[in-house]
Amino acid sequence: MNLHPRRLLVFAVLLSAALAFGCGPSTSTTHIHGDVTYNGQPVPAGTIYFEPDTAAGNSGPGSVAIIRNGAYDTSEALGVVGGPHIVRIEGYDGIAHGDNLDGSPLFATYETTTELPMSSSSVDFDVPKK
């Protein structure tokens, strides 16, 4: 797997935080996967971040997944805890140039809230065109 340095840093930070707080993968995390679209089309490349929504009473480790050809899967990372989450999505055109393997941004970082399931499941996200 060829990881962009920024993505490798994100994985390292999340793993370090999880280990520091004793919140590594456990039976309380699950894996989700799904599709990410923008303007009705699959997002070619990007990153999706899952942060438990503490304002809505959720807690636990955050997680991140890489978007490839419009799909993501948290089984490549720590998984997620179920319940209310803040989700941030970064999407790129996938046309590498120079050191940037992801290409140019398709949209500003999109943020939404959602209720993630307590068991493995598919959850799709559609980034609205502004």
Task: Work out the average pLDDT over 16-33.
Answer: 61
Task: Give the confidence band of 77 by pLDDT, cuts at 50, 70, 90.
Answer: confident
Question: Is residue 57 situated within a structural domain?
Answer: yes
Q: Is 121 helix (H, G, I), strand (E, B) or coil?
A: strand
Chain CA centroid to CA 85, Å: 11
- CATH of residue 34's domain is 2.60.40
Question: Is residue 124 situated within a structural domain?
Answer: no
Task: Give the confidence band of 7 by pLDDT, cuts at 50, 70, 90.
Answer: low
Contact, 113 vs 15, CB < 8 A? no
C-alpha–C-alpha distance, residues 57 and 17, integer Å: 20
Strands 32-38 and 125-127: parallel
Question: Is residue 126 situated within a structural domain?
Answer: no
Return the closest-CA partner of residue 48 out of 90, 79, 11, 84: 90
Task: Work out the average pLDDT over 78-97.
Answer: 95
**Residue 81 corresponds to which tokens in the numbers above?**
């805890």
